[in-house]
């Protein structure tokens, strides 16, 4: 249940909800998105930053928060499905991300290792995706793409991200190249 506190002198309304996984979440219903929860999620022996965002003037929906908690609890399987989507994307839809990193960032130790290990000097999409690190987990409450997983190949050498959009049931929706 949402609890609303009105701040008439500022013209804002704050909503608050208590969730078993996330604890108490507070959102100032402003004009832009707010981060209402931050945490670290363990996956593949590393910790990844995770954030729950809520759009301005949006009320918390317990069912969506429950779905977020389930996705984070099962992040390893969500990550595995996202990596399959990344391989498909790099193989069929847009090989330019991989080509860019091989051609422009050969000084990266990760890229150099991939090039050395490949028979033709160009790593396979599968080998490339295996080396990508899940850099950030964004959970977007009330958004058409509620979960966004940001993957990077080597953050010391490149700020380029492949973002995998995930539905509330854990299925990949799309992949986009961002920086």
Q: What is the pLDDT of residues 62-96, one digit of tens each?
A: 999 999 999 999 999 999 999 999 999 999 999 99
Condensed to tens digits (0 to 9), the pLDDT of residues 29-67 reads 666 688 999 999 999 889 999 999 988 777 888 999 999
Confidence of residue 98 (pLDDT cuts 50, 70, 90): very high
91: which residues sit within 8 A by CB, 6+ positions away? 125
Summarize pLDDT for 110-163 with one digit per residue, the tens.
999 999 998 887 899 999 999 999 999 999 998 889 999 999 999 998 899 999
Instruction: Please report, for the chain, the start and end positions of each structural domain, with discontinuous segments joined by +.
Output: 31-178
Using DSSP's 3-state secondary structure scheme, residue 20 falls into coil
Q: Which residues pair with 35 in a beta bridge?
A: 53
Which pLDDT score is estimated for 3?
44
User: 21 phi and psi, to 5 degrees?
Assistant: -90, -45
Residues 6+ apart with CB under 8 A from 33: 53, 54, 55, 56, 140
Q: What local confidence, expressed as pLDDT, does residue 13 receive?
A: 55
Residue of 23, 22, 5 whose CA lies nearest to 14:
5
pLDDT the model gives residue 2: 45
Best CA proximity match to 142, nearest among 70, 50, 56, 66 = 56
6, 16 contact by CB (below 8 A): no
Look up residue 102 and give its two tokens.
Answer: 């091989």
**pLDDT averaged over the chain?**
88
pLDDT of residue 15: 75
pTM of the model: 0.88
CA distance linking residue 81 with residue 140, whole number of Å: 19
Question: What is the distance between the alpha carbons of residues 115 and 83, in angstroms, rounded to a whole number?
Answer: 20
pLDDT band (50, 70, 90) for residue 26: confident
| pLDDT higher than 80, residue 6 | no
């Amino acid at each position: 249940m949402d609890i609303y506190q009105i701040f008439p002198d500022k013209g804002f309304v704050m909503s608050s909800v208590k969730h078993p996984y996330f604890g108490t979440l507070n959102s100032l219903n402003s004009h832009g998105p707010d981060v209402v929860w931050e945490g670290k999620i363990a996956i593949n022996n590393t910790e990844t930053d995770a954030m729950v965002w809520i759009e301005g003037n949006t009320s918390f929906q317990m069912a969506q928060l429950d779905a977020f908690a389930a996705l984070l609890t099962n992040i390893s399987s969500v990550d595995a499905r996202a990596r399959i989507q990344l391989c498909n994307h790099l193989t069929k839809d847009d090989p330019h991300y991989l080509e860019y990193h091989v051609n422009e960032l050969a000084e990266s130790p990760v890229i150099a290792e991939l090039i050395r290990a490949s028979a033709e000097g160009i790593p396979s999409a599968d080998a490339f995706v295996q080396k990508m690190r899940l850099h950030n987990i964004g959970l977007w409450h009330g958004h058409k793409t509620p979960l966004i997983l940001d993957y990077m190949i080597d953050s010391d050498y490149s700020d380029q991200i492949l973002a995998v959009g995930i539905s509330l049931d854990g299925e990949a929706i799309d992949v986009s190249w961002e920086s």
